[in-house]
Amino acid sequence: MRLLRLTAAGLIAICGLVGIVAAAGAQSEVVSGRVDVVQVNGLIDPSNAALITSTLRGAQRDGASLLVYQIDASGAVDTNIAPIAQALRDSRVPVAAWVGPSGGGAKAAAACLALATGYVGVAPGAKLGKPEPVYYDDTSKKVVCEDPAQPATVVKNVGTLQDFVASLDGKTINGVKVTTLKGQPGHKTLTLDVHFHKLDLTQQLAHTLNTPWVAYFLFVVGLLLIVFEFFTAGVGIAGAVGALALIGGCFGFSHLPVNVWAVGLLMLGVFGLSIDVQAGGLGAWSFIGAAALTAGSIWLYGGSSQLDPSWWILVLVIGGAVLFMLSGMTAMVRSRFSTPTIGREDLVGEMGSAEADVAPDGVVRVRDALWKARTNRATPIKAGDSVRVVSVEGIVLEVEPESGGAKDYRHRS
């Protein structure tokens, strides 16, 4: 009886030992299960950095079998990628990168992060560039892009993302043997439990605003629309859209290496063009404004030249701004504040009413037509009050209150 008990105890111990060995062996191989695919596009900015780190933590927390980053991106701005690259190398979940689709590529910081995954596939027609400079806002900063002891494996001409995931079956990544196919030999199929991740709407908006040419375009357009609203003497749709565009441009600038003096030149350019709009014709300020706008556009960004907007975008924005201000805006102002009379000097001495406060600039109605108006700062005029025209300067009327102002000589008794 005692011998029987000893035998049973021995069998139980052997089974337990076998179970422990089997469990230990299972840790080196991941069965087919959940695959997380993360799309990373454009600059590696705070939005993309947050996407990469959050999906890496999520894959490890949720026990994903494989994490694949689909990369079509370039350099980093306002982001420290060193800890991200280290986290990719230290991941408990197998991590790989597919550079694609065709025509895309990974360079600078994006190439550095791809190499940090340990296994990289490159689509036909795509390119895995050099990881230098890693940072576009500071080209002197360096980052260790891959583990010298275990350099990344790079495989080219991997057709599609699905082909890449299938090709990882049986590969050892981050010390773990990956299984991405299921079924019998010769009849294996890719696992269906694939989860795709990309920037949410808020992150995508921030990422778009961080695009250099978008920030530049919005900033200039915002200035132009605000000037337009000023000349139409109201606060309407153009002013609201211009304010939003200006805020969006400033948000993008906050994450990009802008030269403050170049931003000042952009503002000077629009201001200079506005002066000649006010004067009603082409003058010296038109040339000063156009030159300032051009210089500010060309030297707007510091750091890598990769941030500079394309030449055709510069031509579109600069040329469009000049034409808008000197042609479209001038015509609009003349049309809006025109008068049905032929001789504008005949307006001197005419009575009218203030459509908006004139303090010192505003809008008045004289002879049933709207005019831009100006008065002495010491005698502001409230909306609805009567006004008298004392002089005409181009398309601007010099006015005074009905009482307390001198009358024109032609109306003196």
Facing residues of 386 across strands?
353
Rounded average pLDDT over 339-346: 55
Residue 12 lies in a domain: no
Following CA atoms 109, 112, 113, 119 in sequence, which dihedral angle do they give, to the nearest 10 degrees? 150
Taking the alpha carbons at both ends of the chain, their separation in whole angstroms is 142
Q: Looking at the structure, tell me whether residues 40 and 166 fall in a common domain.
A: yes
The fraction of the chain above a pLDDT of 90, given in percent, is 51
Nearest partner of 256 among 208, 306, 217, 302, judged by Cα: 302
> Which residue range is the domain that position 352 belongs to?
344-411
Q: Looking at the structure, tell me whether residues 318 and 352 fall in a common domain.
A: no
Cα(60)–Cα(54) distance, integer angstroms: 10
Nearest partner of 264 among 296, 224, 222, 308, judged by Cα: 296
Read off the CATH number of the domain in which 384 is found: 2.40.50.140
Lowest-pLDDT range of 123-132, 195-204, 394-403: 394-403
Residue 344 has a pLDDT of 59
Q: Looking at the structure, tell me whether residues 267 and 301 fall in a common domain.
A: yes
Residue 84 lies in a domain: yes
Residue 312 has a pLDDT of 96
Tokens of 62: 């949720």
Per the rule left: phi > 0, alpha: psi between -120 and 50, beta: everything else, 186 is left
* Domain closes at, from 171, 199, 227: 199
Rounded average pLDDT over 378-389: 89
Rounded to two decimals, what is the model's pTM?
A: 0.74
Is 22 a residue whose pLDDT tops 50? no
**Per-residue pLDDT reduced to its tens digit, 286-321:** 899 999 999 999 999 999 999 999 999 999 999 999
Residue 227 has a pLDDT of 86
Rounded average pLDDT over 47-69: 94
b/e 373-409 (16+ beta carbons within 10 angstroms → b) = bbbeeeeebeeeeebbbbebeebbbebbbeeebeeee
Lowest-pLDDT range of 24-28, 94-98, 156-160: 24-28
Is 81 a residue whose pLDDT tops 50? yes
Widest distance between CA atoms in the chain: 142
* Domain closes at, from 335, 353, 375: 335
Q: What is the 3-state secondary structure (H, E, C) of the chain?
A: CHHHHHHHHHHHHHHHHHHHHHHHHHCCEECCCCEEEEEEEEEECHHHHHHHHHHHHHHHHHCCCEEEEEEEEEEECCCCCHHHHHHHHCCCCCEEEEECCCCCEECCHHHHHHHHCCEEEECCCCEECCCCCCECCCCCCCCCCCCCCCCCEEEECCCCHHHHHHHCCCCEECCEEECCEECCCCCCEECCCEEEECCCHHHHHHHHHCCHHHHHHHHHHHHHHHHHHHHCCCCCHHHHHHHHHHHHHHHHHHCCCECHHHHHHHHHHHHHHHHHHHHCCCCHHHHHHHHHHHHHHHCCECCCHHHCCCHHHHHHHHHHHHHHHHHHHHHHHHHHCCCCCCCHHHHCCCEEEECCCECCEEEEEECCEEEEEECCCCCCECCCCEEEEEEEECCEEEEEECCCCCCCHHHCC
**Per-residue pLDDT reduced to its tens digit, 27-47:** 444 444 788 999 999 999 999
* Domain closes at, from 306, 335, 364: 335
Q: Looking at the structure, tell me whether residues 40 and 188 fall in a common domain.
A: yes
Tokens of 138: 């500071």
Q: Looking at the structure, tell me whether residues 93 and 188 fall in a common domain.
A: yes
pLDDT-derived band of residue 115, with 50, 70 and 90 as boundaries? very high
Q: Looking at the structure, tell me whether residues 272 and 143 fall in a common domain.
A: no
Higher model confidence: residue 256 or residue 180?
Answer: 256
Residue 161 lies in a domain: yes
Residue 118 has a pLDDT of 83
Burial class of residue 153 (count of CB atoms within 10 Å of its CB; 0-12, 13-18, 19+): middle
Cα(272)–Cα(269) distance, integer angstroms: 5
Rounded average pLDDT over 361-372: 87
Residue 186 has a pLDDT of 64
Is 132 a residue whose pLDDT tops 60? yes
Instruction: Answer yes or no: are the C-beta atoms of 52 and 39 closer than 8 Å.
Output: no
* CA 191 vs CA 179, 294, 384: distances in Å: 9, 55, 75
**Per-residue pLDDT reduced to its tens digit, 239-297:** 899 999 999 999 999 999 999 999 999 999 999 988 877 766 678 888 999 999 999 99
Q: Looking at the structure, tell me whether residues 248 and 301 fall in a common domain.
A: yes
Q: Looking at the structure, tell me whether residues 163 and 305 fall in a common domain.
A: no
Cα(290)–Cα(310) distance, integer angstroms: 19
The fraction of the chain above a pLDDT of 70, given in percent, is 82
Residue 18 lies in a domain: no
Residue 230 lies in a domain: yes
Q: Position of tokens 């000023």?
A: 230
Burial class of residue 170 (count of CB atoms within 10 Å of its CB; 0-12, 13-18, 19+): exposed
Residue 16 lies in a domain: no
Residue 205 lies in a domain: no
Read off the CATH number of the domain in which 92 is found: 3.90.226.10
Higher model confidence: residue 189 or residue 92?
Answer: 92
Rounded average pLDDT over 343-355: 80
Rounded average pLDDT over 231-245: 81
Instruction: Give backbone dihedrals phi and psi of 335, rounded to 5 degrees, phi first.
Output: -70, -45
Residue 235 has a pLDDT of 59
Q: Looking at the structure, tell me whether residues 116 and 175 fall in a common domain.
A: yes
Cα(197)–Cα(36) distance, integer angstroms: 7
Q: Looking at the structure, tell me whether residues 64 and 126 fall in a common domain.
A: yes
* CA 264 vs CA 63, 222, 247, 259: distances in Å: 52, 14, 16, 9
Rounded average pLDDT over 214-220: 97
Cα(62)–Cα(93) distance, integer angstroms: 10
Rounded average pLDDT over 326-340: 65
Residue 171 lies in a domain: yes
Q: Looking at the structure, tell me whether residues 154 and 295 fall in a common domain.
A: no
Q: Looking at the structure, tell me whether residues 46 and 170 fall in a common domain.
A: yes
Cα(136)–Cα(333) distance, integer angstroms: 43
**Per-residue pLDDT reduced to its tens digit, 161-170:** 989 998 998 8
| Number of compact structural domains in the chain | 3
Residue 253 has a pLDDT of 97
